[in-house]
């Protein structure tokens, strides 16, 4: 005997009802408001994790659509087949998935490369591993090794600036502590 | 603040410094942060704090004279600031002295070098002189 999976639609229905109610209230408010404010035809509604889009028709009727999120799953980029899929989607939806993924990965890589110089051994080693993985992914996205090297040197520069600022801050705090408490800080 | 708390706080500063130094070491710029450089950093910070104290004192005095604020409160603040400023000036002197001492340590034969420099100055070389 096979068990049929049951979907509890109660919550979704409640949510839809709440959305419709809210939209109705908004429509009532818009009727009172001046015409200049009614130029905007599309409004975004957000209750939980889903992003709802309210589309106002010409005849005043409203419809709701779920808006897709521009998210790139990194695991899907790792295979050539998935890469083709991403390309196809980006062509279809006019979204630059590749550029966005590249930018996210570059930012992440700089942060991880900065952590490579951490005083904490485990953090440093883990970051090195992360840098390796992300540089691999960047290579698959078509980023040249020279660019990856440049990212690493940028991270190093940023870390050096951070260390310098940190030391200055510690010195300042130490001195202020000595001034306020009268303790010998030397 | 109790002696124990002060010691604990100083230990925290020391630890922070050590961590940052380790990071500098991993970055390969450890030699840039010499003890003299660290002292200079503290000296600069002290100077900034002193300036801030002076500015605050001027503000408080202006506030007390021109605006009708609570004089008692302002006077207490001024008194505290006076103590801090005196302490800062004293500390600044100490830092300068220590920096000077460290520089002298780095150059143990400074006097000899100065003497040699004087001798060099005395020697005059004439080019294309009379026969």
In this predicted structure, what is the pLDDT of residue A115? 92
Test A180 with B84 for CB contact under 8 angstroms. Answer: yes
In this predicted structure, what is the pLDDT of residue A92? 54
Contact criterion met (CB below 8 Å) for B78 and B60: yes
Residues 6 or more apart from B88 whose CB is under 8 A from it? A179, B46, B49, B50, B53
Q: Is the pLDDT of residue A54 over 50?
A: yes
Q: Is the pLDDT of residue B23 over 90?
A: yes
- Asked if A157 reaches chain B (Cβ–Cβ under 8 Å), the answer is no
ipTM over 0.85: no
pLDDT band for position A153 (50/70/90)? Answer: very high
Residues 108-127 of A with CB under 8 A from B: 116-119, 124
Residues 6 or more apart from B71 whose CB is under 8 A from it? B64
Which of A163, A175, A178 lies at the smallest CB-CB distance from B23?
Answer: A163
Instruction: Kindly report the number of other CB atoms within 10 A of residue A73's CB atom.
Output: 10
- If one compares B73 and B7, the residue with the highest pLDDT of the two is B7
């Amino acid at each position: 005997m096979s068990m049929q999976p049951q979907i509890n639609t109660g919550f979704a229905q409640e949510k839809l009802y709440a959305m419709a109610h809210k939209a109705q209230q908004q429509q009532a408010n818009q009727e009172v408001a001046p015409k200049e404010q009614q130029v905007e035809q599309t409004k975004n509604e957000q209750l939980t994790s889903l992003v709802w889009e309210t589309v106002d028709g010409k005849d005043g009727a409203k419809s709701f659509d779920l808006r897709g999120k521009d998210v790139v799953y990194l695991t899907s980029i790792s295979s050539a087949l998935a890469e083709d899929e991403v390309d196809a989607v980006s062509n279809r939806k006019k979204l630059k998935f590749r550029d966005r993924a590249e930018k996210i990965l570059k930012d992440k890589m700089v942060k991880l490369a900065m952590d490579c110089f951490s005083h904490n051994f485990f953090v440093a080693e883990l970051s090195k591993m992360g840098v390796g993985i992300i540089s691999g992914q960047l290579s698959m996205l078509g980023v040249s090794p020279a660019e990856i090297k440049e990212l690493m040197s940028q991270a190093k520069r940023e870390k050096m600036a951070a260390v310098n600022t940190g030391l200055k801050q510690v010195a300042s705090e130490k001195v202020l502590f000595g001034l306020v408490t009268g303790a010998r800080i030397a | 603040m109790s002696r124990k708390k002060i010691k604990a706080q100083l230990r925290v500063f020391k630890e922070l410094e050590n961590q940052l130094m380790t990071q500098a070491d991993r970055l390969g710029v450890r030699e840039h942060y010499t003890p003299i450089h660290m002292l200079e950093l503290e000296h600069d910070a002290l100077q900034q704090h002193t300036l801030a104290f002076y500015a605050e004192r001027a503000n408080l005095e202006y506030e007390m004279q021109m605006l009708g604020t609570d004089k008692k409160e302002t006077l207490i603040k001024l008194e505290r600031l006076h103590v801090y400023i005196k302490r800062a000036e004293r500390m600044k002197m100490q830092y300068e002295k220590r920096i000077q001492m460290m520089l002298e340590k780095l150059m143990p034969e400074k006097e000899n070098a100065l003497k040699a420099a004087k001798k060099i100055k005395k020697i005059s070389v004439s080019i294309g002189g009379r026969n």
